[in-house]
């Protein structure tokens, strides 16, 4: 699956920022959550998904584009999507109030999604997280990212301010409330929360592999 773009990736400083942030965020993670088997389909239709709708394994993330641990997991999740064609990955917005630019970033991703480029903007936002998080003109930066993606800028800027984009985010937030999600990243694998200690590339891969084996007919 090719969703990678030719732009400068944040270097050593960004990597250190992400690594340091991971420790702080994981310390605040909530206890293990489980989604009811009778879960409403309303929320499941609002997220952005990669992979087949009938996939035997679904990985669902509640993320914040300004959250360093979410950024650290972005590429590992991309790799899982590439390596497991029968895996479905769903991303849901959960911008935290403590992050000044998280909501604008979510709106930018939704505006890009209205032109068919949600996942490309998703990747840029996480890879350039250390840059725009410190910016005093995030919307200007987001517009430059939209230009890199070949989006129509007038439409992108209008869509960022639209009720439709805001409602998509609110829908994900409502779903998070139902599931008692309080922090990011929160990841569910086939409706069961992944423990905070397993929110790293090797453990996530092992969890997906185990879920695939469990879902396979014997």
The percent of residues above 70 in pLDDT, for the chain, comes to 78
Q: Reduced to 3 DSSP states, what percent helix, strand and coil does the chain have, rounded to the nearest 5? A: 50, 10, 35
Residue with tokens 């998904």: 49
174: helix, strand or coil: helix
DSSP E strands in 7-56: the ranges are 48-50
- Is 1 domain-assigned? no
- Is 28 domain-assigned? yes
- Is 6 domain-assigned? no
DSSP E strands in the chain: the ranges are 48-50, 57-63, 87-93, 186-189, 192-193
What does the pLDDT profile of the chain (218 residues) look like in tens digits? 444 433 333 333 333 343 344 333 333 333 345 444 334 333 345 689 999 999 999 999 999 999 999 999 999 999 999 999 999 999 999 999 999 999 999 999 999 999 999 999 999 999 999 999 999 999 999 999 999 999 999 999 999 999 999 999 999 999 999 999 999 999 999 999 999 999 999 999 999 999 999 988 75
pLDDT score of 218: 58
Separation CA 187–CA 195 (nearest Å): 8
- Is 154 domain-assigned? yes
- Is 46 domain-assigned? yes
- Is 2 domain-assigned? no
Separation CA 205–CA 84 (nearest Å): 10
**Domain, as residue range, for 159:** 12-215
- Is 7 domain-assigned? no
Which domain CATH number covers 76?
A: 3.40.30.10
> In the chain, how many domains are there?
1
| Total residue length of the chain | 218
From residue 31, alpha-carbon distances to 70, 181, 192 in Å are 18, 10, 12
- Is 3 domain-assigned? no
Taking the CA atoms of 11, 17, 23 and 29 in sequence, report the sign of the dihedral they define. negative
């Amino acid at each position: 699956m090719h969703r990678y773009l030719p732009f400068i990736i944040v270097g050593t400083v960004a990597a250190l920022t992400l690594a340091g942030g991971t420790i702080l965020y994981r310390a605040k993670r909530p206890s293990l959550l489980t989604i009811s088997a009778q879960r409403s389909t309303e929320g499941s239709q609002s997220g952005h998904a990669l992979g087949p709708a009938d996939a035997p394994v679904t990985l669902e993330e509640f993320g914040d584009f300004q959250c360093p641990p979410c950024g650290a997991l972005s590429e590992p999740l991309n790799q899982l999507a590439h390596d497991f064609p029968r895996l479905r990955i769903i991303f849901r917005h959960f911008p935290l109030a403590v992050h000044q630019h998280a909501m604008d970033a979510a709106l930018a991703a939704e505006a890009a999604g209205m032109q068919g480029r949600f996942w490309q903007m998703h990747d840029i936002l996480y890879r350039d997280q250390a840059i725009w998080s410190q910016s005093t003109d995030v919307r200007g930066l987001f517009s430059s990212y939209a230009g890199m993606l070949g989006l129509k800028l007038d439409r992108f800027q209008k869509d960022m301010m639209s009720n439709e984009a805001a409602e998509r985010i609110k829908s994900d937030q409502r779903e998070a409330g139902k599931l008692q999600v309080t922090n990011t990243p929160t990841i569910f694998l086939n409706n069961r929360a992944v423990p905070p200690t397993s929110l790293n590339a090797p453990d996530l891969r092992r969890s997906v592999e185990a879920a695939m084996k469990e879902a396979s007919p014997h």
